Amino acid sequence: MLKIAWAVLFGLFVWAPAASSGADDFSQNEMQGLDEEVQEIKSDVLGIAAELSRLEERLLYPSNTQLAVFINLAEGEEFRLDAVQIKINGKLVAHYIYSFKELEALQKGGMQRIFTGNLPTGEHGLDVSYDGKLKNGEDFSRSESFAFTKGIEPKLLGITLAGSEFGTAGIQIGDW
């Protein structure tokens, strides 16, 4: 990775002929000026996104009823995760099919927020099932049910999936 960065940044620039036309210089200066403005607008839009997220959260998922469910893979897992299905109190709330890029992001340690919703305080049921393919090419499908309590604060549930570890189910649930 570092080498590629060097190739892009340093290694290759010195061989290019030094001469450049006035028009090229003009384009380069113009592009550079625009680049500064693009950076500014990116910053602005990020600010808007942050404010919008806060507003959305307040409006759609107030903290006393908020429930967020996250998915990640156990460390070192190399199985291919195809799809995950989440049910809360028997009702299907998420059914997600993974692209290669998303699977790769999960394998690198990323966490996907698969569901955000509202639940009243009290006891609730969570059913998790997922399909995939093991490294040896074998298709598999697993599911398990859990119970959890929703208090007055936002509830965050992290579901860790594994291909072969954690016994037969391969699903672990963590409370954050």
Partner 1 sequence: MSRATLWVIGVLLIALLAARPCYADDLKDLYFGEALYYAHQGYYFEALERLDAELGQHYGLDEPELDTLYYHINDAEFSVGDFELHYRMHHRAGRAIKAVLEGDVDEAVRNDAAYRLARIHFQKNQMADALRALERIEGKIPEPIRDDIDFLRANIYMATNRPADAIDILERVQNADDLKGFAAYNLGIALLREGRQHEALAQLDRAGQVRDDDRATLAIRDKSNLVLGTILLESGEYSQAKKFLDRVRLGGPFSNQALLSSGWADMSSENFARAIVPWSILAEREETDGAAQEAMLALPYAYARLNVHGRAALLYGRALDSFGSELQKLDASIKSIREGSFLKALIREEIRQDKDWVIRLRSLPDTPETYYLMELLASHVFQAGLQNYLDLADLRRKLVSWQASFDAFDDMVEIRRDHYEPLLPEIDTQFRELDSRMRLRLEQHKLLDRRLQGMLTAPRPEFLATREEQAILARIKHIENQLQDVNHPVEVALLQRVKRLKAALTWTLQTEYHERLTVFNEHLRELNDSVAVVNEKYERFVRVRQAATHSFEGYQTPISRLRTRVGEAVLNVDRLMARQGHLLEVVAIDELVARRRRLENYQDQARFALADSYDRATQAQARGALQ
Name residues contacting partner 1, limited to 94-113 (CB under 8 A): 101-102, 104-106, 108-113
Number of residues that bind partner 1 (CB under 8 A): 72
Give the chain's radius of gyration (CA, Å). 24
Q: Does 41 bind partner 1 (CB under 8 A)?
A: yes
Cβ 161 vs Cβ 81: under 8 Å: yes
Handedness of CA 118, 124, 129, 130 (dihedral sign): positive
Residues 112-151 vs partner 1: string with x where CB under 8 A? Answer: xx-------x------------------------------
Q: CB of residue 85 vs partner 1: minimum separation in angstroms?
A: 19
- Residue choice 17, 19, 22, 62 for contact with partner 1 (CB under 8 A): 62
Instruction: Tell how strand 91-97 and strand 112-118 pair up.
Output: unpaired
Give residue 48's region: left, alpha or beta (phi > 0; psi -120 to 50): alpha
Nearer to partner 1, 41 or 147 (CB): 41
**Closest residue by Cα to residue 158 from 103, 118, 110, 95:** 110
Stretch of 22-30, 87-95, 126-134, 141-149 lying at the interface with partner 1 (CB under 8 A)? 22-30
Stretch of 70-78, 83-91, 133-141, 143-151 lying at the interface with partner 1 (CB under 8 A)? 70-78
Q: CB of residue 170 vs partner 1: minimum separation in angstroms?
A: 13
Cβ 82 vs Cβ 97: under 8 Å: yes
Q: Does 75 bind partner 1 (CB under 8 A)?
A: yes
Nearer to partner 1, 54 or 95 (CB): 54
Stretch of 83-91, 128-136, 139-147, 153-161 lying at the interface with partner 1 (CB under 8 A)? 153-161
Could you tell me which residues come within 8 angstroms of residue 74 by beta carbon, excluding any fewer than 6 positions away? 160, 161, 162, 165, 166, 172
Handedness of CA 144, 145, 147, 148 (dihedral sign): positive
